[in-house]
């Protein structure tokens, strides 16, 4: 026997957000993060880095075989860490981890992080993520949810709770909104409070063993996978603690191995009472289904059944030219195939309610039925109030209705989420392109011209078109617009397939509706090749001459001239983006941030007499 064989686990450095215990946070959120590390440790020697750091220094110290970067998380009190010098140690394979809901509004921030860190292969915990980020789905694999069997197992609790209702039940969960009240009105129930993640009461929610024991003492526990048809942790936690899962039939749930009346119960509002009455009247059958569900989870969905990241690592080491890695399904293994075979990863598509509404809205918008399209997009926001695709489409509708101010406000909000709330290096390129175009539609051409290269590395086809418009309107038809970087940044948005001439004609009509007829005429000539520099020079552009805008622009220009990139805010120099606040925040030491917050609160408080 060869004694020189190296049996050590490969070393994985996991750059995880700072998910330190928070007195107000829901305990199960921290447990999820700890369980992810525990899962990775089944195959890797894991080093967790959850502080600001220098990538080169970390690689020198730990000599990793693989690095994994968590990104796109919607905070809930956790802190996104800052990682510098990621352009070093390029021989070490890198993966991104989208640790968030598939529809999360931090997806643009995730894609920005991936570009900044030089990562081109990604894993997601949500099975529906490829449907929500189609631009990267070829390089996107699923590392799905699971349970820790040390927490979720049969505790031998006496079954004393007919039904346990746990989890949120607002607009994102239409199935629960329908089914929960029907169950609660008919059967004795243990009802868990529905505190939001950010609520100060969230820490009082059951988590860990206490939650698992409550499940174990319940006969049936209903849950669903949101309007997205997702598989959430509860789908595994409930049967994993030996309670009967009652849920909605979706493609993702069936892909996980759930079969109606075999190891779970599929119901809707039309038959939930009938089904539960039957099960409670036939306890032997209820017990059989419960045991089968328990067996499914503990044989297929524990942390020891999630080798996908390790599989990618081993396959990638031996990957040859002309080969690629694919996944056999959202819960399946990764395999290596020839690119010539045309085989692709198997993803779940077509189940999410918001995606269906977006497609309906897009079709109506293409037919010129703007009011009906707006209704479809607005209905998306009833599911997810912050859904970026719906907000972006509503901005396009506003432009087509000639309401440039409304479009501008929506696009400002989208850019702020990525740049201010998430803190990305740059915004979604499509959102930024149409932010610039909305400025043009409002008559603020000079502002758009000044801001077009604020994010100089941002490259995309729609950015090129926005800069083409600015070049045509600002100089002459001979102006050449070229991207400074050849590789496009990925966007979360999908746009109609139009040629440049078709697009220019479309945007010319937008300008006309937004009361910019002169600009519209210039672009119409440009689309036909007839624009001249003399025609452009005579246009009556609105001047951004206010002292406030000059102040913002001057300060930003000063930052550039003095090479103060570490101090310069990474948001546009406009009051809408709180540029001065971000400048002050960068100038004030971290120890004085409390004072800065108090000043901000004082400035934002309404002024009154006699208070």
In angstroms, rounded to a whole number, what is the distance separating the alpha carbons of residues 419 and 275? Answer: 49
**DSSP string of 185-244, one letter each residue:** HHS-EEE-----TTSTTGGGS--HHHHHHHHHTEEEEEE--TTTT---HHHHHHHHTT-E
pLDDT at 478: 43
In angstroms, rounded to a whole number, what is the distance separating the alpha carbons of residues 205 and 196? Answer: 10
Nearest to 180 by CA among 189, 214, 215: 189
CA 62 to chain centre: 30
Here the tokens at position 32 are 């999820």
Total-model pTM: 0.91
What would the CATH number be for the domain defined by 161-303?
3.40.50.2000
Report strand pairing: 83-84 vs 45-49.
unpaired
Beta bridge partners of 124: 98, 142
Residue with tokens 């989870």: 297
Nearest to 289 by CA among 260, 309, 268: 260
**CA angle at 251 for the pair 245 and 257, rounded to the nearest 5°:** 50
In angstroms, rounded to a whole number, what is the distance separating the alpha carbons of residues 571 and 418? Answer: 10
Query: Which residues, other chains included, contact 478 with Cβ-Cβ below 8 Å and sequence gap of 6+?
Result: 533
C-alpha to C-alpha distances, 423 to 80, 108, 415, nearest whole angstrom: 9, 11, 10
Here the tokens at position 419 are 């740049």
Report strand pairing: 53-54 vs 122-124.
unpaired
Query: Which residues, other chains included, contact 593 with Cβ-Cβ below 8 Å and sequence gap of 6+?
Result: 585
> For the chain, how far is it from start to end, CA to CA, in angstroms?
85
3-state secondary structure of 593: helix
With a cut of 70, which residues of the chain have pLDDT below it? 1-6, 21-26, 76, 197-203, 350, 475-486, 527-547, 589-611
- Within a 10 A sphere around the Cβ of 579, how many other Cβ atoms? 20
Query: Which residues, other chains included, contact 435 with Cβ-Cβ below 8 Å and sequence gap of 6+?
Result: 408, 411, 412, 414, 415, 427
Here the tokens at position 179 are 């089914």
CATH 3.40.50 fits 11-144+309-314, yes or no: yes
Structural contact between residues 264 and 244, judged by C-beta atoms closer than 8 angstroms: yes
Structural contact between residues 523 and 500, judged by C-beta atoms closer than 8 angstroms: no
């Amino acid at each position: 026997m060869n004694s020189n064989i190296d049996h050590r686990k490969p070393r994985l450095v996991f750059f995880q957000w700072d998910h330190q215990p928070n007195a107000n946070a829901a305990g199960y959120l921290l447990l999820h993060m700890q369980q992810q590390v525990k899962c990775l440790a089944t195959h890797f020697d894991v080093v967790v880095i959850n502080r600001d750091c220098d990538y080169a220094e970390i690689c020198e110290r730990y000599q990793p075989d693989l690095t994994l970067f968590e990104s796109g998380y919607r905070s809930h009190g956790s802190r996104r860490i800052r990682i510098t010098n990621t352009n070093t140690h390029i021989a070490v394979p890198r993966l991104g981890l989208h640790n968030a809901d598939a529809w999360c509004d931090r997806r643009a921030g995730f894609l920005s992080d991936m570009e900044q860190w030089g990562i081109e292969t990604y894993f997601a915990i949500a099975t529906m993520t490829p449907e929500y980020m189609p631009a990267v789905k070829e390089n996107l694999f699923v590392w799905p949810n699971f349970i820790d069997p040390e927490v979720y197992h049969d505790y031998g609790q006496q079954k004393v709770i007919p039904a346990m209702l746990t989890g949120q039940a607002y607009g994102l969960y239409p199935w629960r909104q329908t089914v929960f009240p029907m169950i609660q009105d008919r059967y004795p129930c243990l009802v868990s409070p529905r505190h939001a993640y950010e609520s100060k009461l969230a820490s009082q929610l059951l988590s860990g063993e206490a939650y698992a024991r409550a499940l174990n003492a319940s006969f049936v526990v209903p849950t669903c996978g949101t309007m997205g048809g997702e598989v959430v942790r509860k789908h595994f936690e409930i049967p994993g603690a030996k309670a009967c899962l009652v849920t909605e039939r979706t493609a993702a749930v069936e892909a996980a191995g759930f079969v109606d009346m075999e190891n779970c119960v599929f119901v809707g509002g039309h038959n939930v009472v009938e089904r539960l009455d039957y099960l409670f009247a036939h306890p032997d059958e209820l017990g059989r289904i419960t045991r089968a569900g328990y067996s499914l989870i503990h044989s297929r969905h524990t942390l020891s059944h999630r080798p996908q990241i390790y599989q990618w690592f081993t396959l990638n080491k031996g990957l040859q030219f002309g080969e690629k890695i694919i996944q056999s399904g959202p819960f399946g293994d990764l395999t290596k195939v020839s690119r010539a075979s045309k085989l692709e990863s198997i993803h779940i598509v077509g189940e999410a309610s918001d995606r269906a509404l977006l497609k309906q809205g897009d079709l109506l918008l293409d037919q010129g039925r703007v009011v009906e399209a707006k209704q479809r997009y607005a209905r998306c926001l009833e599911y997810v109030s912050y859904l970026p695709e719906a907000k972006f489409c509503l901005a396009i509708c506003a432009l087509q209705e000639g309401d440039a101010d409304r479009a501008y406000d929506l696009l400002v909000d989208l850019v702020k989420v990525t740049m201010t709330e998430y803190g990305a290096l740059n915004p979604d390129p499509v959102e930024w392109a149409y932010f610039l175009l909305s400025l043009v539609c409002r008559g603020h051409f000079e502002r758009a011209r000044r801001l077009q290269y604020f994010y100089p590395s941002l490259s995309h086809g729609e950015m090129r078109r926005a800069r083409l418009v600015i070049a045509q309107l600002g100089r002459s038809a001979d102006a050449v617009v070229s991207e400074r970087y050849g590789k496009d940044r990925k966007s979360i948005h999908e746009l109609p397939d139009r040629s440049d001439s078709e697009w220019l004609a479309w945007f010319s009509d937008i300008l006309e509706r937004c009361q910019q007829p002169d600009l519209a005429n210039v672009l119409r000539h440009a689309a036909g090749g007839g624009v001249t520099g003399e025609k452009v020079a005579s246009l009556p552009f609105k001047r951004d001459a206010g002292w406030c805008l000059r102040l913002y622009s001057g300060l930003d220009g000063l930052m550039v001239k003095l090479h103060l990139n570490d101090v310069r805010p990474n948001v546009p120099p406009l009051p809408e983006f709180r540029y001065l606040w971000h400048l002050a925040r960068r100038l004030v030491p971290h120890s004085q941030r409390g004072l800065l917050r108090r000043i901000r609160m004082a400035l934002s408080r309404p002024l009154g007499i006699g208070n």
